[in-house]
Amino acid sequence: MTPAFHKTRLAPTPSGYLHLGNFVSFLITVSLARKHRAKIVLRIDDLDRQRTRNEYLQDIFDTLDFLEIPYDEGPRSVSDLKNQYSQRCRMPYYQALLEDLANADQLFACDCSRKKIQKNHPKGWYNGHCLHRNLSLTGADRAWRLKTRPDIVYPLIDYPGVRRNCQIPDAMAYFVVRKKDRDPAYQLASLVDDRLFGIDLIVRGEDLWDSSCAQLYLSSLLPDQPLAGATFFHHPLLKEGNQKLSKSEGALAIRTMRQRGMKKTELYRLAAKHTGVARPVQSLEEFVPAYLDLLEPLSPTHQNPE
């Protein structure tokens, strides 16, 4: 029997123009949502004020509209986002969790610079330098980090339903939950948002495997363990040569391809090619069954992509 999920989400970040990799991720999310009868939430991760720009926000809505990607909840315009759905509107929820973690002595302050962190670890991972320095959480220019423990084991449900025992990855040891600018960090905000929206199917690229582990670790510390029943699907990334495809104004940005006259049908054919779909695809209605047929015989195994 096919399991039913309640909600999944599209979670683009407005730090650049959306590219073909975003489109493929959206298509996979919609395909799984239809297979499992889940509603889709559009959640735009706009906390990073330095990188968020109005033209990137508008590009999200333009791209979703042009490609006819459906969703059931969330903003329909930039003004709708800013008035109702921005992560800025959810700051009290993030702050409440930060206060709970501080009161439970789960946090410590850190004033390390990126340069110092790079110097202290060959891979640039944080090594707990400030863990026992007893810096005040109220001091200026200090990040708040979680007191992670490598011995804590917690479950991760890997699509289609494989239960795995996980521990915090070395790359996520003592991860930041509040940045030096006092804004909540990505891992904490993403967990809070998924809890608020009731997300139980999380589709994301395999490069975010460590983030999934970090968010599940944080979830395991909370009384309601909000992600305990969530299922994760980590899909392969699109690459340009040997590099992960990133947001840009480059050749594979949807905006650029549209400006060059590429039609929606051509973009669907290109997305299908990159996901391994062999049959002709020119629309969402053709992509969904083709992708689900491709997925059906597979038994997904996901490894931490260092």
Which amino acid appears at position 71 of this protein? Y
Does the pLDDT value for residue 304 go beyond 50? no
Q: What is the pLDDT of residues 231-273, one digit of tens each?
A: 999 999 886 555 555 555 566 899 999 999 999 999 999 999 9
Phi and psi, residue 233, nearest 5°:
-125, 115
Q: Would you say residue 3 has pLDDT above 80?
A: no
- pTM for this predicted structure: 0.91
Q: What percent of the chain has pLDDT over 70?
A: 92
Residue 143 has pLDDT above 60, yes or no: yes
pLDDT at 44: 98
For domain 7-295, give the fold: Rossmann fold (3.40.50)
pLDDT at residue number 301? 40
Quick one: how far is CA 139 from the chain centroid?
30
Q: CA distances (Å), 164 to each of 153, 161, 301, 303, in order?
A: 10, 9, 11, 11
Residue among 236, 246, 178 at smallest CA distance from 204: 236
Segments making up each domain of the chain, as ranges: 7-295
What are the pLDDT digits (tens) for 268-297?
999 999 999 999 999 999 999 999 999 886
